[in-house]
A and B are shown apart, each in its own frame.
Chain A
Amino acid sequence: MMDGTEQTHWTNDERQAAVKDSEGYVTADGRQIGGVLMELRNITLRFGGVVAIKDISFDIREGEIRAIIGPNGAGKSSMLNIISGFYTPSEGELWYKGAKRPPMKPYEVARMGVARTFQNIALFEGMSVLDNVMTGRLTHMNAGIASQALWWGKARDEEIANREVVEKVIDFLEIQSIRKTPVGRLPYGLKKRVELARALAAEPSILLLDEPMAGMNVEEKEDMSRFILDVNDEFGTTICLIEHDMGVVMDLSDRVVVMDYGKKIGDGPPDEVRANQDVIDAYLGVAH
Chain B
Amino acid sequence: MGGDNLAYMSEGAEGLRSIPALLQRNATRFGTRPAYREKEFGIWQSWSWSEAETEIEAFALGLLNLGVEKGDHVAVIGRNRPTLYWSMVAAQMCGAVPVPLYQDAAAEEMEYALQHCGARFVIAADQEQVDKVIDIQDDLHQFEHMIYVDPRGMRKYDHRRLHEYSHIQNQGRAAYDEFIGELTARRESLGYDDTCVMLYTSGTTGKPKGVVLSNRNIIETAKNSAEFDKLGPGEEVLAYLPMAWVGDFIFSIGQAYWTGFCVNCPESAETMMTDLREIAPSYYFAPPRVFETQLTQIMIRMEDAGALKRKMFHHFMAHAREVGPKILDGKPVGLLDRLKYALGSGLVYGPLKNTLGFSNVRVGYTAGEAIGPEIFDFYRALGINLKQLYGQTEASVFITQQPDNEVRPDTVGVPSPGVEIRIAENGEVFYRSPGVFVEYYKNADSTADTKDPEGWVATGDAGFFEEGTGHLRIIDRAKDVGKMADGALFAPKYVENKLKFFPNILEAVVFGAGKDRCTAFINIDLTAVGNWAERNNIAYASYQELAGHPQVLETIRGHVEEVNASVAEDEMLSGCQIHRFLVLHKELDADDGELTRTRKVRRKIIAEKFHDLVTALYDGSDSIYTETEVTYEDGRKGKIRATLAIMDAKTVPAAPPAMAAE
Contacts and interface: CB of A to CB of B under 8 A. Distances in A.
Interface stretch (B267-275, B428-436, B608-616): B267-275
Contacts of A177: 267-268, 270-271, 274
A55 interface: no
A230 B150 CA distance: 13
Nearest to A30: B156
B42 A167 contact: yes
B479 interface: no
B interface secondary structure, majority: loop
A176 interface: yes
B160 interface: no
Contacts of A171: 40-41
Q: Which residue, of B41, B153, B155, B267, has the highest number of chain A Cβ atoms within 10 A?
A: B41
Contacts of A179: 42
A154 interface: no
A167 B44 CA distance: 13
A29 to B, nearest CB: 7
A244 B540 CA distance: 31
Interface in B152-187: 152-153, 155-156
Interface in B1-58: 40-43
B41 A167 contact: yes
Contacts of A168: 41
Contacts of A164: 41
A23 interface: no
A176 B39 CA distance: 10
Nearest to A163: B42
Contacts of A230: 152-153
Contacts of B267: 176-177
Interface string B53-68: 0000000000000000
Contacts of B152: 172, 230, 234
Interface string A23-44: 0000001100000000000000
Contacts of B42: 163, 167, 170, 176, 179
A170 B267 CA distance: 12
Contacts of B271: 176-177
Nearest to A177: B270
A108 interface: no
A163 B42 CA distance: 10
B544 to A, nearest CB: 18
A226 B270 CA distance: 20
Contacts of B270: 176-177
A66 B153 CA distance: 20
Nearest to B273: A177
Contacts of B40: 171
Interface in A221-260: 226, 230, 233-234
A169 B103 CA distance: 24
A174 interface: yes
A82 B153 CA distance: 32
Given A167-B41, A167-B42, A168-B41, A174 B268 contact: yes
A164 B40 CA distance: 11
Given A167-B42, A170-B42, A171-B41, A176 B155 contact: no
Given A171-B40, A177-B274, A233 B156 contact: yes
Interface of A: 29-30, 163-164, 167-168, 170-172, 174, 176-177, 179, 226, 230, 233-234
Given A163-B42, A234-B153, 12 more contacts: A29-B156, A167-B42, A168-B41, A170-B41, A171-B41, A176-B42, A177-B267, A177-B268, A177-B270, A177-B274, A226-B153, A233-B156
8 contacts: A167-B43, A170-B42, A171-B41, A176-B271, A177-B270, A230-B152, A233-B153, A234-B155
The 9 closest A-B pairs by CB, nearest first: A177-B270, A167-B41, A177-B271, A167-B42, A176-B267, A176-B271, A176-B268, A230-B153, A171-B41
